[in-house]
Amino acid sequence: MTSANFCMNLTKILNRQALQKLSSPDSTRQFSVSSTRKMRFVQYRLKTGGQQQLGAQIAAGGDIFDISAVDSSIPNSPDQIPGDGKWHLREGQEYAALGAPVCRVSDNACSTIVAAGKSITPLENVELLSPITKPDKVACVGLNYSGHCKEQNIEEPKEPMIFSKFSSCIVGPHDNVVIPPITNSVDWEVELAVVIGRKAKAIRREQVNDYIFGYTVAQDISARDWQKKRNNGQFLLGKSMDTFCPLGPAIVTKNKLDVNNLDIKTWVNGVLKQNGNTSELIFKIDFLVSYLSQIVTLYPGDVILTGTPAGVGMYRNPPEFLKKGDILESEIEGIGRLKNVIV
């Protein structure tokens, strides 16, 4: 079963189950049914405790269908991964993994995911985690929105500007962002993040869509003093301090998501700071993935942050930076919203 067919079949089943619940005379819960057929994969933990689990939603804000509960062959924690812990798509089988877990879902498994009521978990009963936890790499693209270049009064780049973040700085969509005492210039950058679904090396632009699993929202939190003035001009430390990469709230599968025309926004304490659209991307996603694959091997679960629109704090007049107590919200149309408190 291909990735697209698996997602389509699972979506149909979840929608059918949702309709059955709605039509049931003793139903006490409401289930949203999405006509856009986009699957949303999440990692979560019950508020009452327990292990990390893998789930799916058919709509933002909807209840979670517990994929981890299907059978014991599906891991729900990175600690339970056999072998090298990579995320594979193999012939005849579907491996859907959010982060380190490798989740084998057979051709028949999707028909049992929501067969029992115990596999449905209300969203209010869970803590959402980052949908990707331990990617092999987090690649980032700088200066990739026309508006971001204009606010700095610089020309658009002729080739992509690539840097990276340590994967250890990834946190969940509602986790706190910690300002370390070594910086006082912490800034925001909302970004569309690509999640790779298959090992990719030297692929062509027209092949890229087959290697993408889906998309999520990222905040490329940045200590501007360390990015621009410290560490001899290398970005890595200023971009990789603990908690500096909130991700989530879900990975939305690539079908029916026009990634070249999505509104992308940031608010600080309810005030709109960034208000862009992915149509402003200088280097489009198919080019970026192909470009990176010529240089390095992209592995399943790898995350690519594709750039940020105008409105970052550093280039405001006067400059603005995050401070303790601020509430940072980041949203991309059709994917979801992060909400992180600065501490």
Residue 173, burial from CB neighbour count under 10 angstroms (0-12, 13-18, 19+): buried
Rounded to whole angstroms, the Cα distance separating 11 from 37 reads: 6
CA–chain centroid gap for 276, Å, is 18
Q: What is the pLDDT of residues 140-196, one digit of tens each?
A: 999 999 999 999 999 999 999 999 999 999 999 999 999 999 999 999 999 999 999
The H-assigned helical ranges of the chain are: 3-23, 146-151, 224-228, 236-239, 285-295
Concatenate the DSSP letters of all residues of 153-199 into one string.
Answer: T-PPPSS-EEEEE-GGGEE-TT--B---TT-S-EE--EEEEEEE-S-
CB of 246 closer than 8 Å to CB of 218: yes
Q: HSE (CB half, 13 Å, CA atoms) of 38?
A: 22
Query: In terms of DSSP bridges, do strands 303-305 and 271-277 run parallel, antiparallel, or are they unpaired?
Result: unpaired
Which range is most confident: 6-10, 63-67, 205-209?
205-209
Model confidence pLDDT, tens digit, residues 207-243: 999 999 999 999 999 999 999 999 999 999 999 999 9
Determine the pLDDT at residue 93: 32
Domains defined for the chain, CATH in brackets: 3-129 (no CATH), 138-341 (3.90.850.10)
Q: Are strands 245-253 and 170-171 parallel, antiparallel or unpaired?
A: parallel
Please provide the average confidence, as pLDDT, over all residues in the chain. 82
Of the candidates 277, 242, 231, the residue with the CA atom closest to the CA atom of residue 167: 242
Instruction: Report the alpha-carbon distance of residue 65 to residue 110 in Å, rounded.
Output: 11
pLDDT at 117 over 60: no
Specify the pLDDT at position 84.
38
The pLDDT, as a whole number, for residue 105 is: 42
pLDDT at 76 exceeding the cut of 50 = yes
pLDDT of residue 26 exceeding 60, the answer is: no
pLDDT at 3 over 50: no
